[in-house]
Every structure is written in C-alpha cells, then in structure tokens.
Homo-oligomer: A and B are copies of this chain.
Amino acid sequence: MIRLHDYELSADAFKVRQLLAWLGLAHEKILVDVHPGREHESARFRSELSPLGRVPVLEYDGLLLHDAGAILVYLAVRHDEARRWLPVDARAQGAVAQWLGIAHDLSRSAGALRLHHAFGAAVDVAVCRGEAIALLRLLDDHLAERASAGERWLVAAQPTIADLACFPHAALAGEGGLALDAWPALRRWLWDLRHLPGFIGMPGILAAGEAQRI
C-alpha cells in the first residue's frame, strides 16, 4: 500500500500527486497540517517520517522517502515499465538528475518566496529572488533552445519527471512575486504541461478547461 503524507498547497507534494495520477496508482492520503499547525516541523513528524521536516513523504512497503525528486525516481522506476517518465539511457538519466537538482533549488528559492508571501515565512528575499530568477532564466533558455530543435520538453521527446519536478515552482512563481513576462518559452512549456491528458492541477494552477490566464 502506498501512503502519501500530503499538503494541498505544497508544490513538492503536487509533483507526487500528479505522478501517482498519471501512473494510475491507488494510495492512501494523510493530510499534514503544515499551516497553521506546522506539523511537519514537530518532533514526531521529524523522528517518524521526515528528519528534515519536509513534505511530501511517501511510505511504501517499509520504504520511507522524504524528498519529492527521490519519490518521483522511485515511482518511475518501479511503476512505469515503459520508462517514459525516466528514460533508461545514460544521457537522459544524467540530464534528469541535473533537472531534479535544479527543481530542488527552485523549491528553496521560488518556493521559499511563495511561503514568505503566503505565510510570512522568514527568508532572505533578495537572495531567494536572485536565485529563483537565475533558475527560471536557465529553464527558459533551455526550453527556447529545445524549441529551436523542434522539441517541447526538457529532456526527451515526451515529458519526463524532469519537467514535472520543475513545473509547479515555475507555475506558482507569481505567488512569490516573480513575473514570467520575459520568458515566453517557459510560459509555453507551462501551458503544454497543463494541457497534458490527466493533468490534475492544484490551487493556483488550474487544469486545462478551467479559466486561467498565465
């Protein structure tokens, strides 16, 4: 049985919910009271589930993973037999690992800004803004280069967990006070991902068919 410790507004938890949906995996959902309860920082949560106090957490056959990127890798290797979401060739695996690192940095910069705006989290706004902008520009540059080669996704001819891992931080950047006006390739990629079949959305990221302007 898959058990997901989840928080609806978490961009990192969204990634896992979305891959579970795309892979059609039934799971039990445990809601974590991140705000206002700060349950993820409690001694119990840290000692039993997530030593760094992070959400989401996946429990599965005795395995415990508390890093969103690692959960995506695990689910893709175990449940995506065609390996569309994490292609097996070395070049793709290296590239996906690099984007997972960038997604991790996006979570800690663009994601931190969002927490700051929404919940007043204490962050160094100037440092986070500078880093988030550098990462979003990197995404836009890469997507523009891929588009010039006729490709729409970060790594492969189809979306991979690299796209999914970076997506929500870019899609929700506005909630952290970051504008995407300067990055058309990035905006087109957000649109493409939101229009994939089975896209589930989350608060702040509506699925296709729901009225939204990015």
Contacts and interface: CB of A to CB of B under 8 A. Distances in A.
Contacts of A100: 97, 100-101
B94 A138 contact: no
Interface in A150-188: none
Contact of A94 (B63, B94, B97): B63
Nearest to A99: B70
Interface residues of A, number: 32
Nearest to A63: B91
Most buried by B among A66, A69, A89, A90: A90
A135 B53 CA distance: 12
Nearest to A68: B101
A49 to B, nearest CB: 13
Contacts of A135: 52
A78 interface: yes
Contact of A124 (B52, B95, B124): B124
A65 B94 contact: yes
A201 B66 CA distance: 31
Nearest to A89: B77
A99 to B, nearest CB: 8
Interface in A123-150: 124, 134-135, 138, 141
A23 to B, nearest CB: 12
A98 B97 CA distance: 11
13 contacts: A67-B97, A67-B98, A67-B101, A70-B98, A73-B93, A74-B90, A74-B91, A74-B97, A77-B89, A77-B94, A97-B97, A97-B100, A100-B101
Interface of A: 51-52, 63, 65-67, 69-71, 73-74, 77-78, 88-91, 93-95, 97-98, 100-102, 104-105, 124, 134-135, 138, 141
Given A67-B98, A70-B97, A73-B94, 10 more contacts: A51-B138, A63-B91, A70-B98, A71-B94, A74-B94, A74-B97, A77-B88, A97-B97, A100-B100, A104-B104
